[in-house]
Amino acid sequence: MTGLLIFAAVVVALVLAAWLAFRLSPWPMVLVIRHLPALSGEGINERLQPAVPSGIVSVLDERYDPADRDAYLDVFRPDSATGPLPTIVWVHGGAFIAGTRKDLRNYLRILAGRGFTTVGVEYSHAPERRYPTPVLQVAAALAYLRRNAARLGVDPDRIVLAGDSAGAQIAGQIALALCDAAFAAAARLPLVAPGVRIRATVLACGPYDLNLPDYQGEYGRFLRAIMWAYTGTRDFQNDPRFAFASLPQHVSEHFPPTFLTVGNGDPLRRHSVALAEALRARGVTVDALFYPDDHSPILDHEYQIDLNTDAGAAALERIVAHVDTYTRDRRPAR
């Protein structure tokens, strides 16, 4: 009986310790989330390999900031190119706490095969490093690309900033800060990207409106842990600086023409709808690929990466058309 009581006491203590750990730090939930198959990116490159065209030159693991251990990027372009090409700079997803540019290498090779230079940018994960670190890192990568444009085949006057999931939010915030000095100053974002102008954006499945999520229930706990990790505070909704990461409330008429897409089964669908409405209300050109609620099959988060589906293939064509529209001439960037 004594042994049973001791065992019960140990179990209670462990449960209490676990409960306290989840209450006092985002780390336990982050470690759980990082191992979710949907965030690991495992298998993406392998599934896309058959669609990669021949003749793509790859420059891998280019370091854009020697003082930053996470500051790497990859560059892809057709080997037939004789000069700089319109350039898509892509920020990967992973809920701000996971993911890597390596997951999208074949996707970016496929895009490069359509006549672009494509760039995958790495940034630091939370909670090891917090907001606005990824925003500043990607801005530093843009500045690096401008300084090294000739060597890397980048046209610094024809850049499209793109991203998926968390990367879409980061890309959108950078695009806004680069085109709207008043927003950058208010958000306290000292972006080190002089002379960088964004022609357009491509934003897929992102969390853009931080006022939208329902932070109750299982999915709410998931979101709260991510935002706590990214901001460094449990009270992130009342953090005045982080409020500037919520894009629909701050976009202006200066925001670049934007392609937005999201699946009908994506829990973040409302975010894309809210951002599209806010941009259109300010006169920004928006090309939105949204699917009706009854679309079958249901398209989940990051549906556009799966090019083996009709929807994923359609998204790719729309992305290519959007980039072509805003980069195939020599008009000044907005």
Angle in degrees, 0-180, between the axes of helices 2-24 and 27-34, rounded to the nearest 10? 90
pLDDT recorded at residue 211: 81
Q: Which residue has the tokens 């198959």?
A: 37
Looking at residue 29, its amino acid is M
| Whether 281 contacts 309, CB under 8 Å | no
State the Cα–Cα distance between residues 225 and 212, nearest whole angstrom. Answer: 16
Of residues 25 and 31, more confidently modeled:
31
Please say whether the dihedral angle defined by the alpha carbons of residues 39, 41, 47 and 48, taken in this order, is positive or negative.
Answer: positive
Q: Which residue has the tokens 């939208």?
A: 212
pLDDT recorded at residue 20: 39
- Reply yes or no on whether the pLDDT at 40 is more than 80: no
Please say whether the dihedral angle defined by the alpha carbons of residues 267, 272, 277 and 282, taken in this order, is positive or negative.
Answer: positive
Of residues 36 and 111, more confidently modeled:
111
pLDDT recorded at residue 44: 82
- Reply yes or no on whether the pLDDT at 41 is more than 70: no
- Reply yes or no on whether the pLDDT at 255 is more than 90: yes
Six-digit token string for 281? 């209300």
| Whether 164 contacts 171, CB under 8 Å | no
pLDDT digits (tens, 9 = 90+) for 259-310: 999 999 999 999 999 999 999 999 999 999 999 999 999 999 999 999 999 9
The DSSP 8-state label assigned to residue 313 in this structure reads: H
State the Cα–Cα distance between residues 127 and 236, nearest whole angstrom. Answer: 13
pLDDT digits (tens, 9 = 90+) for 156-209: 999 999 999 999 999 999 999 999 989 999 998 877 666 778 999 999 999 999
Mean pLDDT of 19-25: 49
Domain ranges in the chain are 36-327
Residue 301 phi/psi, 5-degree rounding, is -55, 135
State the Cα–Cα distance between residues 169 and 262, nearest whole angstrom. Answer: 13
Percent of the chain with pLDDT over 70: 86
State the Cα–Cα distance between residues 240 and 73, nearest whole angstrom. Answer: 31
CATH architecture of 36-327: 3-Layer(aba) Sandwich (3.40)
